[in-house]
Every structure is written in structure tokens, then in C-alpha cells.
Chains A and B, each alone.
Chain A
Amino acid sequence: KQEVTQIPAALSVPEGENLVLNCSFTDSAIYNLQWFRQDPGKGLTSLLLIQSSQREQTSGRLNASLDKSSGRSTLYIAASQPGDSATYLCAVNYGGSQGNLIFGKGTKLSVKP
């Protein structure tokens, strides 16, 4: 069964810290992997998309890495800000260009001012 696991489930850090969110997946034959942000009661905001052939993607203070062989991805957030507080979801696509996403349960991040 293809599963996506995110650790930790919740994380609280002081403002300014660098932090890492972890995502692991059971089947390494992925098509791509996406990181999303979800604010309470809201939809999803796509942060980074990593294709299976890529090792990492960067956008501003965010960096996502992908290691297919070990079934892991990390989302690195530099110099965290209170506005980064949200739930971060990792999702894996196994089905190709028309494939659905399998989501982890998310990491709820709280950045304290």
C-alpha cells in the first residue's frame, strides 16, 4: 500500500529559526512530489513541486529535497516568520500526468514571535 508519512505532526519554534519538515513514502516509484501549505479552514497553496528526476527545488526561503531511493523528502524553511504558521502537507503522485495525489497528514507549524 502506498503511504505518505509526515514527521513531526506538530512543531513550535521561535521566530528566526531554520527548520526541517520530513516526509517519507513507502513506494519509491513516484512521478512527482509536492509540498503544500494549508491555513486553517482554507484550501491548499502549492509551495514546491519536485519531479522524480530532480533532487531539489527552491523558492525564496523554502527548499525541498527529494531522495527517491530512501523514500524521503524534506522541506527546509529558513529564517522562519510568524506568517509561516500553517499546516504543511506533503503529497506524492504515482500515477503520472493524470495521476492523483496521496497526502500525508501534515505537520502543523507554529512560529512564535
Chain B
Amino acid sequence: GESVGLHLPTLSVQEGDNSIINCAYSNSASDYFIWYKQESGKGPQFIIDIRSNMDKRQGQRVTVLLNKTVKHLSLQIAATQPGDSAVYFCAENQGQGKLIFGQGTTLQVKP
């Protein structure tokens, strides 16, 4: 079936470096994608979203890139900080707001 997945379960980066978290999706009809951050014991926190008519969208220290040709999106975090340590999920909106989540990438920031 259709699914949204992430390439790596864990990513370890040095504080101050840039982080790139990847996600592959399989439903070519998907038109809206969201990145969430989830800290231990908390609910997912919205980070940034992107629609399929865009290739790139920037927020504060975060950028999402969408490559529809290869059905891939990525989340880039600039100058990674210890507070960025969390599990990151990409999610696909399948209409009426129903979100399909991938399994998540754990970002570990080394001081």
C-alpha cells in the first residue's frame, strides 16, 4: 500500500552543524506534506509544511525541499542545537486532513 517512510532511523550531528533528514513517499498523487518534531513524552509539534506546487519552503532555521520526480522530501535544520534533539516525522495528507506518518528519524545532537 501507499506509505511515507524515512531513510534513516537515527542521525547524529555535532552542535552547530547542519542536519538533513530525508523522507521518501510512494503516493505520487500526494499534494501536501508536513514535518513534525516529537520530544520524549510529548505530542508531535508542527515544524513546517509544503504543498506539491512548491519545491522549497523556508522557516526559521528550517527548510523543506520537495522533489516530486523522485518522490522525496527533506528537512534541513541550520546550526543544529541541543534543543533540536527529538524524533522527526514526515507526514502525508491524504485528504480531509487524514495524516499518514512515517516511522521517524531520531536526531541526536552532540555537544
The answer on A and B forming one complex is no
